[in-house]
Amino acid sequence: MTRPAIARAQGKALPLALAFMGLAHLTVLRQRVKGVVFAFVEIIFLLLLPDSIGKLGQLVTLGEPQLELPVKQRGNSMFMLIDGVMTLAMIALFAVLYYISVRSALADEHRQALDGKQLSVREQFGAFANSAFHVVGLAPAVILVLFFVIVPLIFSACVAFTNYSAPDHIPPAKTVDWVGLENFERLFSGEAEWAGALTRVFVWTVVWAMLATLTCYFGGMLMAVLLQESKLRIKPFFRAVFILPYAIPVVVSMLVWRNLLNGAFGQVNQTLMAFGLIDQAIGWLSDPWLAKFAVVMINLWAGFPYFMLLTFGAMTAISPDVTEAARLDGATGFQRFRHITLPLVLYQTAPLIIISFAHNINNFGAVFFLTMGDPTVEDSTVTGAGGTDIMVSWIYKLTITLMKYNYASVLAVVIFVVLAPFAIFNFRRTKSFKEGEL
């Protein structure tokens, strides 16, 4: 094409690009490589379209009861739900690619108008390979996150609005239906036992997360400061010992503690009795309040080393000049700690308190392996929630043992809501946000 031909082509790219993916590239822009790829994407999409529409239809109905068919041949409502959500994800992906193709057409048109020449096929391949680099490089990450993170999150949000639960609504024998806000009503106010359990577990989850974070944070900081202050030669020995709980996998240490704390034959009670400190066995894990206390204390055992290490890191970052100057001015050891070390360490590690709080809300291992959520309380037989269960361990029980998927999903939605401020916090504290990249 000559210069006038390019000028004539101006303005045609947009309608063509909108009409069919890659059409503008194939015709007026003469970018065959890109055009073929884009057109190929749209053709695949169109071929899959009838199937997709069917799946979206099933997403709306979740299937009809097919009592006349044997169980194996009945439609499975959950597959319809997941296929529907995956189809939506695929459509979203297609929409994004469509948008990219139109943008690319406009950009190419603009560039051709500026330099007035077209790329040879060879150059096209080079340019395409270069721009394809980021598409191909990101594809695995995007696909994995889309299908294993985003789709499941949307799916579980959807399940909260269905009656997917044992015993009456487990596919494929029975179908599942949309029930609107019914689960939320029942859990929040409708059924006394469930509403009571929800309040109890929710309050304990928040209290637990606060206690767990604060005890570990200050416990770890205390040990770091004590080690730093002491002039002992065997300091490295203590330091190595204090790292041990962090190095031992949580499942192992919690299960060991679970056995040591056992009321009937655990070593804790036996040792205390041998020293004459107590007369009869204490039910560390069978009394609801003692069990809560035990969970927090054992979590301190397992969690303080992490904060101790972080405090070490923060303390080494403090310039020795500052403490030296204070020492010359006659500040005592405690004053130096109070007015120099502590504020600087607090300033550096404070964001971690918040991150750690969010982590503890979901700290399944620290609770479940120590107590399995037990001991049982009044509503446990119905709701499955024990005296030390936090939200996530309750979700686990509702899913694995009770198969009340609908209620488990409502709890997941509650966790979303609780964690949303943390997501925003996480977002605002990044350098990219502060520097305006986001």
Partner 1 sequence: MSRSWLRRVNSLVILAILIMVTVAVVWPILHMMSAAFAPGNNIAGLSIVPFADGFTAAHFEYLLTQTNYPRWFLNTLIVAVCTSAGTLVVASTGAYIFSRFQFAFKRQMLMSMLILEVFPSFVGMIAIYVVLYRFGALDTLWGLVLVYMAGNLPFTIWLVKSYMDNIPRALDEAARIDGASNLRVFSTIILPVSRPILTFLAVTSFAAPWMDFIFPKMVLRSPENQTLALGLFSFVTDKNNDFTNFAAGSLIVAVPFVVFFILTQKSLIASLSSGAMKE
Pick the binder of partner 1 from 88, 100, 113, 346 (CB under 8 A): 100
Contact 381, 375 (CB under 8 A): no
Q: Does 381 bind partner 1 (CB under 8 A)?
A: no
Nearer to partner 1 among residue 52 and residue 349 (C-beta):
349
Pick the binder of partner 1 from 47, 231, 321, 417 (CB under 8 A): 231
- Report the nearest approach of partner 1 to the CB of residue 22 (Å): 16
Sheet strands (E) in 1-42: none
- Selected range binding partner 1 among 32-40, 45-53, 113-121, 392-400, rule: CB under 8 A: 392-400
Contact 172, 74 (CB under 8 A): yes
Contact 396, 368 (CB under 8 A): yes
Nearer to partner 1 among residue 188 and residue 238 (C-beta):
238
Nearer to partner 1 among residue 45 and residue 312 (C-beta):
312
Q: Does 293 bind partner 1 (CB under 8 A)?
A: no
Phi, psi of 165 (to 5 degrees): -165, 160
- Report the nearest approach of partner 1 to the CB of residue 237 (Å): 9
CA distances from 276 to 269, 281, 282, 325 (A): 10, 11, 13, 52
Q: Does 243 bind partner 1 (CB under 8 A)?
A: yes
- Helix crossing, 405-428 with 342-361: angle to 10°? 160
Q: Does 213 bind partner 1 (CB under 8 A)?
A: no
- Round to whole Å and give the CA distance between 306 and 295: 18
Phi, psi of 178 (to 5 degrees): -70, 135
Q: List all residues 6 or more positions away from 374 whose beta carbon is below 8 Å from its beta carbon.
A: 285, 286, 291, 386, 387, 388
Q: Does 134 bind partner 1 (CB under 8 A)?
A: yes
Nearer to partner 1 among residue 39 and residue 222 (C-beta):
222
Q: Does 262 bind partner 1 (CB under 8 A)?
A: yes
Taking residue 214's Cβ as centre, other Cβ atoms within 10 Å add up to 15
Q: Does 133 bind partner 1 (CB under 8 A)?
A: yes
Burial pattern 34-60, b for ≥16 Cβ within 10 A else e, equals bbebbbebbeebeeeeeebeebeebbe
- Selected range binding partner 1 among 175-183, 195-203, 288-296, 390-398, rule: CB under 8 A: 390-398
Pick the binder of partner 1 from 14, 96, 166, 342 (CB under 8 A): 96
Residue with tokens 């603009």: 110
316-375: which residues touch partner 1 (CB under 8 A)? 316-317, 348-349, 351-352, 355, 358, 362, 364-365, 368-369
Q: Does 226 bind partner 1 (CB under 8 A)?
A: yes
Taking residue 380's Cβ as centre, other Cβ atoms within 10 Å add up to 18
Nearest to 407 by CA among 416, 396, 418: 396
Q: Does 95 bind partner 1 (CB under 8 A)?
A: no
**What sign for the dihedral angle of Cα 40, 42, 44, 47?**
negative
| Number of residues in contact with partner 1 under rule CB under 8 A | 111
- Report the nearest approach of partner 1 to the CB of residue 329 (Å): 17
- Report the nearest approach of partner 1 to the CB of residue 391 (Å): 9
Mark 43-82 with x for binding to partner 1 (rule: CB under 8 A) and - for no binding: -----------------------------------xx-xx
- Round to whole Å and give the CA distance between 306 and 280: 36
- Round to whole Å and give the CA distance between 140 and 148: 12
Pick the binder of partner 1 from 27, 118, 270, 376 (CB under 8 A): 270
102-121: which residues touch partner 1 (CB under 8 A)? 103
